[in-house]
Structure formats: structure tokens, C-alpha cells
Amino acid sequence: MHPSNGNEQSDADAFQSDELENLKRDAELEMGRKLWEEDDGAAPREQYEPGRELGRYKYDAVKDLEQGVRGYLIRCRFRRERTSIREVTERLNAGQDGENRFGIVKLSFRGMAMLLDQRRPDGGAHDIENNIVMKSMQRLMESAREDGLRFTHRVSPVLQSCVCTESALEEKGKRLVSCVVTSDVFDSDKNSGIKFAVLFSGRGLSKKHEGIRLKYIHAVAKGFSDEYASKTGLTATVDLRHPDVVVSVDHVDVMQRGFMVLGVYPSTWCEGASKLDLKSLMSKAPTQGTKRKNRDEVEGGDAVAEGDGPE
């Protein structure tokens, strides 16, 4: 007989429980929000709902991301990615003929998902395609103001994508200018210069990229400001406090490869102390959570966006 076996098993169970709690806390710090437990009213894992088409995953998304994609980057509740994709696509498809025109990109990060907008107008002009995404974003935000989403925190527009190099980011920064100049969602005075800020989220960046975060930010800002001056003859200046437009740059990991996805949106879509974060789409945003890590940097020397940044 070994009377100590029961105590040893109890100690092992307690150790495993502590390890699990530590893993949960690490996940909260990385995501910048509290994990949802059963006591919070959230199901432990989302279940597939028969009869409701989720959409098709894009298993060739790596090639698309290299060439440049358009779509929507979703930030949602932990382990609610598929449910969030479903409610976002339902809003985006509202008023359409019922056909789902979105491809799903599976990201390596929990609490994030990406939809590719596969709608192509006649002629497939880039400006028209960008405007489709921006108009859809505008309708989505207006819809959420009337009836908030349940599982989706924020959705940001994706108008360009590229590999993680300074030269590629500078080139993609240039291509964002045409959207600002031509899209109706930007109501700033187009006869004068504009003020802009670059909001950077580097979640999942490897250590070799950590030292060049600011170089990435500066590359996007340089491309955007140079192209704006070339296209309009006016100046685009950095203003972190009261920008007219915000250029978003997010790192995503797909099939163990890192990419940058870029978008731009008017500051009227923002909220939060930094005035750079997109408004929450949830009917009731969670108020509990751990203090977020200092992960998001903004163009302007060593300026850092404090407080509410992208999850």
C-alpha cells in the first residue's frame, strides 16, 4: 500500500491547474482582453450550425496576399472566430442576392480572422474595388450603431497586402492614396493638405523584426506622403492627435508566413483616447480585461499609441 499516492495525485492536479491559469493569463496579455469563461455566458467552444453557410476557406491565400488583396480584418472574442465571420458576412451581404462573395483566410492568431472581398466590378479598376470595400465598411458601421454585433469587436478595411519588407510597405503606402483621393467616405477638404497617422499592430512578429518596427512605419508614411504630394500637389503631414485619416498596418500570420495588410479610414470612424482606434461594433463591449501590453506604435519618432489599440 502507498498511502502517499493520493496526495501526490492531488499535488499533480493542482500543478496542472496552476499551469493552465498561467497560460490563460499569458493569452490575455497577448490579446489585450480577458478570456471569456462559462460564467460570463459564453459557450466553451463554438459549434457548427447546420444549414448556415459560413463560406469557403482560401487555402491559396498566400499567393493572393503576396500580390495584394482587399477585404476585412476582424477582431473578435476568443474562440469565436467562425461565429464572428458569420455575423460579419451576414451584415455585408445584407441587401445582396444572397450569394456569399467572401473568401476566408485562416490566421494563426486567436481572436482574429480575415475576409477577402472577391467581388469584382466590370473592368476591375482598383479605385472602384477599393471604394466597394470602403462603402461596405461604412454600411457595416452604420448597421452596428443601430444593432450591435455580438461577437465582433472591430472590423478594419484591408486595401493592400505585401510581404514584410520596407520597400514593399513603401510601395503599398503609395497605393492607399488613390482611395483617399477618390472615395466618397473621406469628407476632408480635398483642396488643402491632409493630416494623417500610421497605426501599427505587430502581433506575432518574430524577434528579428522587432528592431525594425519603426522602419516599417516610416516606410509606409514616406510612401503615403510622397504619393499624396505627387498626385495632388498638396502636403500630407503627420498629426498623431487630430489626423484626418488613419493608415492601419497589421501583421498577420498565414500558413506560417508573415504578411502586412494595410488599410486607410477617416478619423470620424475612430474612438478612444488616441483617436486612432476604430469604433467597437459590439452591442456591449466587454469592460473587464487585463492591462494591454505596449504593442502598437504610431508614426512620429518614438511616439506610441497608449490605451485602446487594436486587439
114, 263 contact by CB (below 8 A) = no
Average pLDDT over residues 256-284: 86
pLDDT of 53 reads 57
Q: Cell numbers of 177, please?
A: 492614396
CA distance 83 to 113: 11
Q: Cell numbers of 208, please?
A: 528579428
Q: Cell numbers of 218, please?
A: 516610416
List the single range of 22-31, 131-140, 242-251, 289-298 with lowest mean pLDDT. Answer: 289-298
Average pLDDT over residues 254-273: 89
pLDDT of 224 reads 98
**Per-residue pLDDT tens over the stretch 166-178:** 999 999 999 999 9
CA 34 to chain centre: 18
pLDDT band at 15 (very low <50, low <70, confident <90, very high): low
Check residues 32 and 265 and name the one with the higher pLDDT.
265
CA distance 275 to 241: 7
For 145-203, what is the HEC assignment?
HHCCECCEEEEEEECEEEECCHHHHHHHHHHCHHHHHHCCCCCCCCCCCEEEEEEEECC
Classify burial at 102, counting beta carbons within 10 Å of its beta carbon; exposed 0-12, middle 13-18, buried 19 or more. Answer: buried
Check residues 101 and 219 and name the one with the higher pLDDT.
219
150: Cβ contacts below 8 Å, ≥ 6 apart = 83, 87, 282, 283
pLDDT of 48 reads 43
pLDDT of 14 reads 56
Q: For the chain, what is the largest distance between any 2 Cα atoms, rounded to a whole number of angstroms? A: 89
74, 85 contact by CB (below 8 A) = yes
Residue 305: phi and psi, rounded to 5, are -80, 115
Q: Cell numbers of 40, please?
A: 460570463
**Per-residue pLDDT tens over the stretch 142-152:** 999 999 999 99
pLDDT at 124 over 80: no
pLDDT at 80 over 50: yes
Average pLDDT over residues 299-306: 38
Average pLDDT over residues 179-200: 86
pLDDT at 232 over 90: yes
pLDDT of 302 reads 37
pLDDT band at 311 (very low <50, low <70, confident <90, very high): very low
List the single range of 22-31, 103-112, 132-141, 244-253 with lowest mean pLDDT. Answer: 22-31
Q: Considering the chain, what percentage of its residues have pLDDT values greater than 70?
A: 66
- First-to-last alpha carbon distance for the chain, in angstroms, is 54
84, 177 contact by CB (below 8 A) = no
CA distances from 160 to 18, 20, 66, 168 (A): 43, 38, 10, 10
Orientation of helix 166-175 relative to helix 213-232, angle to 10°: 30
CA distance 150 to 42: 11
pLDDT of 93 reads 84
pLDDT of 8 reads 58
pLDDT of 52 reads 47
Average pLDDT, rounded, for the chain? 78
Nearest Cα to 262, choosing from 39, 73, 48?
73
